Amino acid sequence: MHVHSLQKNSYCLNNLTREAKSWCYISRQEYMTNQLDNILIVEDEPLIAEDISDTLQDAGYGIAGIAHSADAAIKILKNSSPSLALLDINIDGHIDGLMLAKIINNDFNVPFIFLTSFTDEKTLNEVKKLKPFGFIVKPFDDKELITNIELAIDKFKEESKELASVESNLNDSFFLKQDGSLIKVSTSEILYAEAFDNYCFIHTHEKKYLLPHTLKAISQKLEGNLFLRIHRSFLVNLNAIEVINEDHLLINNKCIPVAKSSKAELLNRISLL
């Protein structure tokens, strides 16, 4: 079983054939019952990227694409729906792996695993904030990579099921999970949702609830006739709006910014006399 090199400039291809490598772990084909999971590989060293691709295909995965920069990765994400992304932290370009992870959290519902040789305290603190589904330190072997991917995809699918069931729409109501309990909240009670790093606050007249999901995920559940995302950090209940000004609005005495790109749709959605 080969080892992925810590130093890119000293990396060399392993000569093991795919047939030989397949003995290193049980083929996923023996227990795969769903459609093929596709992986996005973000790695700026072509030889390493291709070798990871070979390893994943040997294990029964599909390849959503190979990106050597964050810009290329974003293009792939916009045109496909990978099951998971492998992100090298130290990639070339103006956007590194950490910045790319933040973009994925905000704009794409895709889990990711970091691949890196950086284990310093500063990097680890930044990684924790981004809530990755895995963190693999180079050098790593095939079995370690496949195991981490398998666990990450399973965890993401379970969390997605929980989000769909716990916060599913039941007769215009939602159940929010708080401190081990399920609390029923009517959608009409929700004044607005506010992004908080990789979490989200749901505000009602009575209290606010912190949910372990991004505003994008909550928007997918709430956005519709009653709700509108008016800013990168805010989703509002149109019926709860009290005042609309040039660049902000008021809900329950809370001043909420309105993005220029959302102003026209906001005015189109409300009733004017």
More confident residue, 158 or 27: 158
More confident residue, 66 or 221: 66
Length of the chain: 273
With residues binned 3-state (H G I as helix, E B as strand, rest as coil), the percentages for the chain, rounded to 5, are: 40, 25, 35
Q: Phi and psi of 113, rounded to 5°?
A: -125, 135
CB atoms within 10 A of CB 197: 11
pLDDT at 59: 93
Q: How confident is the model at residue 223 (pLDDT cuts 50, 70, 90)?
A: low
Asked whether the beta carbons of 252 and 240 are under 8 A apart, the reply is: yes
More confident residue, 185 or 17: 185
Both tokens of 35, joined, read: 């459609």
pLDDT at 239: 92
pLDDT at 92: 85
pLDDT at 180: 73
Rounded to 5°, the CA angle 133-139-141 comes to 75
Q: How confident is the model at residue 26 (pLDDT cuts 50, 70, 90)?
A: very low
Per cent of the chain over pLDDT 90 is: 49
pLDDT at 220: 81
Mind listing the pLDDT tens digit for each residue in 205-222?
A: 989 999 888 888 888 877
The Cα–Cα gap between 62 and 80 comes to 12
Q: Is-cis flag, bond preceding 139, omega within 30? A: yes
pLDDT at 162: 64
Measured over the CA atoms of residue 72, residue 74, residue 77 and residue 82, the dihedral's sign is positive
CATH of 8-165, one of 3.40.50.300, 1.10.3720.10, 3.40.50.2300, 3.30.420.40: 3.40.50.2300
Q: How many CA atoms lie within 13 A of 125 on its CB side?
A: 3
Task: Report the mean per-residue pLDDT for the chain.
Answer: 82
Instruction: Decide: helix, strand or coil at residue 44.
Output: coil
Rounded to 5°, the CA angle 110-217-91 comes to 30
pLDDT at 31: 38
Q: Of the candidates 152, 116, 110, 156, which has an alpha carbon nearest to the alpha carbon of residue 134?
A: 152
CATH topology of domain 173-269: OB fold (Dihydrolipoamide Acetyltransferase, E2P) (2.40.50)
The Cα–Cα gap between 200 and 3 comes to 40
Instruction: Give the residue extent of every domain in the chain.
Output: 8-165, 173-269
Instruction: Decide: helix, strand or coil at residue 216.
Output: helix
Q: How confident is the model at residue 65 (pLDDT cuts 50, 70, 90)?
A: very high
More confident residue, 36 or 123: 123
Measured over the CA atoms of residue 96, residue 102, residue 107 and residue 109, the dihedral's sign is positive
